[in-house]
Structure formats: C-alpha cells, structure tokens
C-alpha cells in the first residue's frame, strides 16, 4: 500500500481507528503546552506521555509544536493531518502502531511568529518545553552563558522583538508573562539541563535588562529532566508500515523502540499533566538518573557511532552484533563508566547495563550510526570527556574512553577505513573537518589541533599527559585499522 493510494490521516478518520488509539474516550484539549523543537523524539516521548496523562486524569494540556528550522515541510505535513501522526513502535516481539492526538497545532518560525507569541502570552499555556538538541541553546560551553559570539544571538540582542533563537524567544515571552511565568522544561540530553537553560536564558536577559534577568533567575521554574527512548529518523518504510497498519496515509510517522523513560524534577508552579500516571518518575533531584543515562547510554552510543562510521557499520544493531565491539561496550560500561556514577542504592547499574545492551540489539529499529554521530562537539564533552577527567583525577585507567574520543577525532576526517567519504554534521563542522584534514595521517598533529578546541576540551585537561598518551596510543591503533583497534581494546 502506498501513500498515493490511501486516504490521508485526519481527525475524520478517528472513529475507524479504535485499534490504534490509546483510548476511545477523548476530548480536544485547550493548548496548555508550547513545545519548541517538534522533532521525532518529542512526538514519540513527551507527547505520548501527555496524551496518556490526559486520558488518565484529564486536563487542558494540548500541545502547540514549533519548528525553528525555517522549513515549513513538517508544519504543512502535520497540519494537513490535523496534527495527527503515528508512532511505530518496533521490538523483537513485533510492531505496534498508535495514532497520537495530543498535538493540537504546529507552527514554523519565523513564518508563524505572531501566532507563536500569542500562544506564549496566553495564561492557559503553563509549560514551555524543549527538545532542540545541545546546539539549539546557543550556549558557550566554556562559561555556561549564552554564546554572545553567535550571529543569531547578536541578531536577537539587536532585535529583541523578532528573535530567532531559543534564548531570544524565551526571554521575549517571559518579559510578556512577567508576574505569571510559564515553567520552562528542557528535555534535551544536556547535563543539568534545567539549570543549564536557566543560565543561558538569564545571561541573555541580563544583556538586555538586568532586572528582568534577576526575576527570571529567581522566579521562573526550570526543572531538569532525564529522557530516554531510541527514536530513529523516519524512512519511507515507516510511512508504509503506518499505512499498512491502519489504512491511512501518514507523511510524518515516528519509529521508536518499546522502551521509554522520563524522570522529572517536580517543580511546576502553575501545574502539570499527571505524567506519573503514564509512567514518568517525579523526583526531587534528577541528577543521578541523568548522569547514568548520559554516560552509560549516550556515551556508549557515541562510542559505537564513531567506531562504526570508521569501520563501515551502518546501524546500532549491526554494531552490537559484532562480538568484539559488544565486548568493548560491555567492558566500557562495567569498568570505565559505572564506577563514575553516584546513583541511589535502589538503582542496579549492572541491570541497567544489560538492559541497554538488549535495546541496542533490537533488530527492528535500524538506528543509524550516522544520526548518532551528528553534533559530536556538543555531545563529546558530557558523555566522554567528563568521565575521562574523573578517571584521571582518581588515577584510574580510561583507555576505552580514550579510544572513543580518538575515534571521534579520526571521524572528523570524513573518510571510512575503506576510503568511502561521508558528510559531517556539527555546529563546528567546517572548522573541525579543516583541522582533521590538515593533520593528514600525522596522529600527533591531529591530537594537538583538536585538543586546542576549547568548546570540547578544557585547557587544563588538554594539557594532561595521561590523556595525551592515551589518545596518541588510540589514534595509532585506529590508524592500523578500526576493527583491529576494537579487538585490542575490548
């Protein structure tokens, strides 16, 4: 069945979709959440939790989704479907397709700026949530403040009424909501994401209005969260699966794994959906959960991605099926990462490790290594550099972590071991690729050039002799062949 030969998925189709709905009982909620960054992850994660929470406990928590990319393709595709879409959940036991109704409208910046700011000014909007990836925060990783050198930040400071960036949008909206602020909920893979976003927003506001900045820092809630679900990019096969399951054409389905997790600091002055009734964990401090996920899952995901890109392995399930790479990742989790975690006694780290390895092996998901390898300059510091620094401080070995960072360094050359080229997607792509190409096959030159990138490596750590020795050894091993290096370090 092809999309060309099926009726479009719209709300008129809902009466015939009972097998693919979470509940037949439903009322169209008023918009209570604006979500910035309406990508696949949000639609397979927070939106699904929110629909389940409304089914369980009611509430006016319809979602206005916003894309900041300037491209109206996603907005128009979802709008034509009355904001409905399918979640295609794939596991070893088979496939499940669910049609989600929590999304009420989709906007695209800058085209819908007036509508967006009208939404943000509406007191019924009590939460503004975000999944914009690390680079969307326009954050200076060296200071934690907003990156004042970013050209879009310069634009927003000069034209605060017509912002382009997340900090600019939030500050403009909070200025209008002074006295009755919405809660700002980061759902990105960023350490202490709530606190990090508060610092970015307050530092931007301070450049415009110090009193406003003080009010934001003191009065606006920025709870931190930990989110987890593997959500690959959508393919034509996903569109075909959705159409085959329910008989309607869906231009924007979302594939995902069965597993999901959401841990949230429970600080919402104006209220929130009953997410706990949908399985979310509401806690006082998300840090232990966040660190476990960031290092155990995200850190090993990045490790597999860069090694696989060099070795010519396309997907995570194929990577973890390689016995040597499986042994390497198992050892990295057990010996290198788990000892850096400070988790509650009830958190079984080794059981978490085993669950992750099982998830990686899901043959139905086909999570592409190239997708995970994107934006490495943003991801490497918290996922790999931070645990390396802790291991060095404790005088403990970190060779496998160094191999992961060295694989990222060689990845920046843009060539696999067999000479095949690929594109690098990173906020610093041009600069990093240029440094890697200029170094050629000189491993020391490659290491020296990239250790000077302060967005990734703090100056003190970059001068660490143990780090430099470990990186040079790993680069030398990778130069002889990635698969051989994996076997040597496993």
Closest CA to 384 of 446, 332, 429: 332
Q: Where are the beta strands (DSSP E) in 365-419?
A: none
Torsion sign over Cα 302, 307, 308, 309? positive
The class of domain 3-283 in CATH terms is alpha beta
Residue 325 CA neighbour count, 13 Å, CB half: 27
Cα–Cα distance for residue pair 371/369, rounded to 1 Å: 5
Confidence check: pLDDT of 2 > 70 = no
pLDDT tens across 387-435, in order? 999 999 999 999 999 999 999 999 999 999 999 999 999 999 999 999 9
Beta strands in 109-158 (DSSP E): 127-130
- Which tokens is 271 given? 């209220």
Structure confidence at residue 190 (pLDDT): 87
Q: pTM value?
A: 0.87
Least Cα distance to 132 among 168, 159, 165 occurs for 165
475, 310 Cβ separation under 8 angstroms: no
Note whether 220 and 177 are within 8 A (CB).
no
Question: From the CB of residue 281, how many other CB atoms can be counted at a distance below 10 Å?
Answer: 14
| Cα distances (angstroms) measured from residue 16 to each of 24, 81, 450 | 10, 15, 56
Instruction: Check residue 195 and give its pLDDT.
Output: 96
Position 149 scores a pLDDT of 95
Q: Please say if the pLDDT value at position 467 is more than 60.
A: yes
Nearest to 230 by CA among 185, 285, 282, 297: 297
Hey, which CATH number is domain 287-489, 1.20.58.1910, 1.10.1040.10, 3.20.20.80, 1.10.760.10? 1.10.1040.10
Please, where are the H alpha helices in 209-313? Answer: 210-219, 236-246, 287-292, 300-311
**pLDDT score, position 55:** 98
Q: Which residue has the tokens 């041009």?
A: 430
- Mean pLDDT confidence for 63-67: 98
Q: How confident is the model at residue 92 (pLDDT cuts 50, 70, 90)?
A: confident
Q: Give residue 1's pLDDT band: very low, low, confident or very high (50, 70, 90).
A: very low
Position 93 scores a pLDDT of 85
Tens digits of per-residue pLDDT, 452-466? Answer: 999 999 999 999 999
The pLDDT value given to residue 5: 54
Mean pLDDT score of the chain, rounded to an integer?
96
Q: How does residue 346 score in pLDDT terms, banded at 50, 70 and 90?
A: confident
Is the pLDDT reported for residue 63 higher than 70?
yes
Predicted confidence (pLDDT) at residue 3 exceeds the cutoff of 80:
no
Average pLDDT, integer, range 471-484: 98
End-to-end CA distance of the chain: 45
pLDDT at site 438: 97
Q: Could you give the angle at the alpha carbon of 288 between the alpha carbons of 283 and 294, nearest 5°?
A: 115
What share of the chain in percent tops pLDDT 90?
94
Average pLDDT over residues 277-287: 96
Nearest to 422 by CA among 313, 293, 271: 313
Name the percent of the chain lying above pLDDT 70.
99
The pLDDT of 149-155, averaged and rounded, is 97
**On the CB side of 221, how many CA atoms lie within 13 Å of its CA?**
20
- For the chain, the maximum distance between any two Cα atoms, rounded to a whole number of angstroms, is 66
Q: Where in the chain are the domains?
A: 3-283, 287-489
Strand 62-67 with 183-186, pairing: unpaired
């Amino acid at each position: 069945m092809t999309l060309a030969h099926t009726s479009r998925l719209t709300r008129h189709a809902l009466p015939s979709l009972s097998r693919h709905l979470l509940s037949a009982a439903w009322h169209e909620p008023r918009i209570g959440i604006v979500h910035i960054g309406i990508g696949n992850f949000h639609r397979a994660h927070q939106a699904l939790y929110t629909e389940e929470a409304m089914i369980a406990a009611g509430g006016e928590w319809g979602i206005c989704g916003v894309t900041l990319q300037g491209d109206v393709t996603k907005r128009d595709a979802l709008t034509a479907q009355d904001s409905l879409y399918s979640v295609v959940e794939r596991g070893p036991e088979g496939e499940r397709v669910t049609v989600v109704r929590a999304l009420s409208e989709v906007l695209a910046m800058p085209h819908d700026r007036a509508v967006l700011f009208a939404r943000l000014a509406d007191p019924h909007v009590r939460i503004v949530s975000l999944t914009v990836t690390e680079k969307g925060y326009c954050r200076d990783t060296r200071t934690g403040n907003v990156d004042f050198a970013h050209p879009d930040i310069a634009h927003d400071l000069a034209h605060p009424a017509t912002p382009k960036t997340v900090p600019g949008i939030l500050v403009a909206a909070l200025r209008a909501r002074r006295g009755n602020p919405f809660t700002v909920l980061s759902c990105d893979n960023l350490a202490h994401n709530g606190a990090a976003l508060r610092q970015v927003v307050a530092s931007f506001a301070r450049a415009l209005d110090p009193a406003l900045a003080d009010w934001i820092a003191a009065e606006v809630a920025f709870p931190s969260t930990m989110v987890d679900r593997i959500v690959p990019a959508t393919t034509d096969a996903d569109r075909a699966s959705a159409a085959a399951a329910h008989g309607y054409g869906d231009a924007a389905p979302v594939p995902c794994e069965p597993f999901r997790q959401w841990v949230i600091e429970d600080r919402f002055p104006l209220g929130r959906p009953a997410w706990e009734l949908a399985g979310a964990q509401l806690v006082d401090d998300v840090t232990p959960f966040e660190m476990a996920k960031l290092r155990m899952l995200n850190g090993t995901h990045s490790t597999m991605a860069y090694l696989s890109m060099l070795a010519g392995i396309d997907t995570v399930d194929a990577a973890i099926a390689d016995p040597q790479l499986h042994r390497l990742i198992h050892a990295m989790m057990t010996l290198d990462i788990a000892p850096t975690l400070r988790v509650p006694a009830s958190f079984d780290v080794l059981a978490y490790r085993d669950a992750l390895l099982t998830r990686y092996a899901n043959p139905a998901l086909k999570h592409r290594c190239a997708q995970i390898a994107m934006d490495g300059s943003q991801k490497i510091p918290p996922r790999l550099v931070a645990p390396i620094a802790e291991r060095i401080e404790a005088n403990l070995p970190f060779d496998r972590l160094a191999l992961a960072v060295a694989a990222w360094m060689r990845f920046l050359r843009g060539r696999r071991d067999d000479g095949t080229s690929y594109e690098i997607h990173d906020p610093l792509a041009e600069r990093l690729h240029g440094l890697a190409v200029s170094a050629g096959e000189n491993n020391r030159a490659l290491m020296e050039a990239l250790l000077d990138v302060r967005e990734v490596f703090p100056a003190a750590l970059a001068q660490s002799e143990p780090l430099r020795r470990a990186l040079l050894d790993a680069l030398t091993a990778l130069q002889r062949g990635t698969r051989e290096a994996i076997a040597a370090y496993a």
